[in-house]
Amino acid sequence: MSNGDLISNARQMKRQLKGYPENARIVLGSVFRKFGIQHSKQVEAEKLYDFREFPNGNSRVPVRVVTPDDGHYMTTFFDVDALSPSGRFLATTKVPFIWRIPSPGDVAQIAVIDLSEGRRKIVAKTSGWGSQLGANVQWGADDDTLFFNDVQQGVPVGIRLNLKTGERKILNGTIYGLDPKRRFSFSPNLDFINAGIPGYGVPENIFAPKRQPVSVNENDGIWRTCLRTGETSLFLSLKQLVDALPVESRLDGGDYYAFNTKINQQGTRGFVVIFSKNVPGRAGWPPQLMTFDIEGGNVSLAMPDALWKHGGHHPSWAPDGEHITMNLRSKGERMRFVKFRYDGRDLVELCSGAIGGGHPSLHPSGDFLLTDAYVSEPFIDKEGRVPLRLLSTSDGRDDPLCWVNTKRLDGPRRIDPHPVWSRDGSKVIFNGVVNGMRQVMIADVRGVL
């Protein structure tokens, strides 16, 4: 076993140890729900309120808290713009608690914020949410169409909601990586994601978790769902993905899973993170990154286990649709920001000399990189807050936009800021904690770009 494998195993064992208290919280929550103990107060369907200034004066750009203080609100991910196509509305998941991750049957709400009027409207309920992505709420091609995940009779499904008419259509597949024209959703099986890390799929029963029945499943993988008709089909099977791996990159003996699946802004290519469980000699779930064209051809290995196992996380499409950015640690080195082609070629460092971390994404111009930080990374301040970092890609200059309270949480129920650029690059939407409540903030960054 190589030194890289030993280091990777040690990290995964540490992560597994952190999971035991979370499982105890889930069990306790199930007891609470069984006896009808409410987690949060009921709220009215519509609410008018005033936006608040970001607390503590710790921001160098204008920041507003745009969700009300009547509960916990969250956006989706660091590569999903939560603003509607016009920019007027914000899509959020209002979750009933933050003291544990959800278990089957826990209900959250889909809340739309009118940024023009200061109005919050509850538009739907859902049982298909997690602590990291909420219900994966995403906008359609206009301000009237919203997509999110739910669970119907124990099966994860996507929902298309018309906000104007209230029409609700149940899709046969789930919501994850949407193409830019909002024709299709490309999604892993949300029942299986928790095998690697909870919070990205739907809640699972910890006493009967769902796992892949075979090592390389030819009947599961990436699913493509038509957002108009709701029909779904297997787009790329795990067997097809594994067969496309170079022999030296196959983790023989392990059980393969599909995870994070995203489509570039041009609608020409996608990527999928595949991970493997139960690999002989390897703890945890070693990941690899694969890309494909929008029709399912030209499957390539973009980030092999041989490089990723030293440390790395959170790939994202660059604005040009040809490159991918992520955090990556070379052997014996600190974490860095890197960029490489969709086929794995031309790996280069971004923001020269800057320490990598958090959830990095490039500004539409490519001149700046935005990221946050985990409380386990070396950026936390003396008050326990993490920075929203804005870095110059030309010289690595690192000037935090502000500092965010995340309750110092780590592990599956952590509150990541997940900062995301608005479509035009003028705003940053992010999560945090204000006065003990999970909230969503919007920063106007035009003055510092």
CB-based burial label for 229 (10 Å; 0-12, 13-18, 19+): exposed
CB-based burial label for 99 (10 Å; 0-12, 13-18, 19+): exposed
SS3 4: helix
Distance of CA 179 to the CA centre of its chain: 16
Do residues 346 and 356 make contact, with C-beta atoms less than 8 angstroms apart? no
Neighbours of 193 (CB within 10 A): 27
CATH superfamily of 3-448: YVTN repeat-like/Quinoprotein amine dehydrogenase (2.130.10.10)
| Residue keyed to tokens 């795990």 | 238
Do residues 145 and 161 make contact, with C-beta atoms less than 8 angstroms apart? yes
For residue range 135-189, list pLDDT tens digits in order. 999 999 999 999 999 999 999 999 999 999 999 999 999 999 999 999 999 999 9
Supply the pLDDT for residue 283.
86
| Residue keyed to tokens 């710790």 | 58
Average pLDDT over residues 311-321: 97
- Least reliable range by pLDDT among 6-10, 78-82, 402-406: 6-10
Average pLDDT over residues 378-389: 93
Neighbours of 298 (CB within 10 A): 13
Do residues 116 and 185 make contact, with C-beta atoms less than 8 angstroms apart? no
Handedness of CA 253, 258, 260, 264 (dihedral sign): positive
d(CA 405, CA 439): 10
For residue range 393-435, list pLDDT tens digits in order. 999 999 999 999 999 988 889 999 999 999 999 999 999 999 9
Supply the pLDDT for residue 199.
86
Supply the pLDDT for residue 6.
57
**Considering the entire predicted model, what is its pTM?**
0.91
Domain boundaries, the chain: 3-448
Using a pLDDT cut of 70, give the percent of the chain over it: 90
Supply the pLDDT for residue 31.
58
- Least reliable range by pLDDT among 88-97, 195-204, 395-404: 195-204
Using a pLDDT cut of 90, give the percent of the chain over it: 81
Neighbours of 9 (CB within 10 A): 17
| 132 CB-near residues (< 8 Å, 6+ apart) | 77, 199, 200, 412, 414, 416
Neighbours of 53 (CB within 10 A): 11
